[in-house]
Amino acid sequence: MVVRISCVVLAIAAWCEGLAPLRGGGGLEACGAPSAGDGGGVASRREAFRQVAALGGSLSTVALGMPATVCRGIADDSPAPDATFVRVAYGPGSVEMPSTWKRDGPRVADPVLGSISDSIAAHSVATDKASMADFGKIEKVPLANLGLASGREKGDFVGAKTREALDGKLYYEWDLAVPPPNGCPRSEQEVIVCPPVEVALISATIDDGKLVVFECGVGKVQWKNFGRQLRTMRSSFSTTEPLSS
């Protein structure tokens, strides 16, 4: 099932394409309504997500996709047909990435196209959960419980989905639009949503009594150029797949 919220989608699309932020009402009434305690009449995308999820019942996939004419490549998660991949370690797990990408600590770059991400990492913490399903529905999981890099726990949902690996392990995945740490600049306080400072791609699972979290942060240019490939990489995260030799 696919759910679309026009005010959320176009705000992220505008960030991606460098367009002017949206003003005025959106396609969902909640987008124009003040959120609790904000005092300024600016509703968060997370609240809009919750309201649509409540209407849709149990959602295994929620994709707040972009219009077909905006960021078309990012909306398509399929890898390039001529790409070759290697599986590389990140913390207690691993991901697949194009063999041409070069890693330097948390940074990844393409030797021709330049910077891909400055912040890729994975970590684990002890948990009493046996599966991600024990956290409840994906849209209800408090991001603060994931131990994300500073500021990302305040990110607004752009998309969320569950993924079951071949070995039966359940993964929860989020695309988050991370807001400015100090809120909207005064010049943008009347927009529906602040343009994000980064998009964070998250994957989480439970492995051997630990919550294992992979996170990848990208800026505006990186997201525009590599969003499709980075989302594919995030969805390859595994705690059991063997590394490339």
Locate 73 and state its tokens: 């490549």
Burial 136-158 (b: 16+ CB within 10 A, else e): eebbebebeebebeebbbbbbbb
| pLDDT over 90 (residue 199) | yes
Residue 182 has a pLDDT of 79
What percentage of residues in the chain have a pLDDT greater than 70? 62
User: Which of 90, 71, 85 has its CA nearest to residue 175?
Assistant: 71
| pLDDT over 80 (residue 218) | yes
Residue 192 has a pLDDT of 56
| pLDDT over 90 (residue 5) | no
| pLDDT over 50 (residue 35) | no
What is the tens place of the pLDDT at every residue in 117-128? 999 999 999 999
Residue 185 has a pLDDT of 66
Residue whose entry in the numeric block shows the structure tokens 């207690």: 92
The crossing angle, in degrees rounded to 10, of helices 45-56 and 6-17 is 140
Is pTM, for the whole model, over 0.75? no
Distance CA(175)–CA(157), nearest Å, equals 6
Helix, strand, coil percent values for the chain (each to nearest 5): 25, 30, 45
Residue whose entry in the numeric block shows the structure tokens 């705690």: 239
Instruction: Kindly list the strands in the beta sheet with 114-117, ordered across the sheet, starting from the edge strand earlier in the chain.
Output: 102-104, 107-110, 114-117
Give the pLDDT mean for 194-210: 92
Q: Which CATH class is domain 6-234?
A: alpha beta
Residue 12: pLDDT band by 50, 70, 90 thresholds? low
More confident residue, 32 or 213: 213
Among the ranges given (31-35, 152-156, 195-199), the one the predictor scored with the smallest mean pLDDT: 31-35
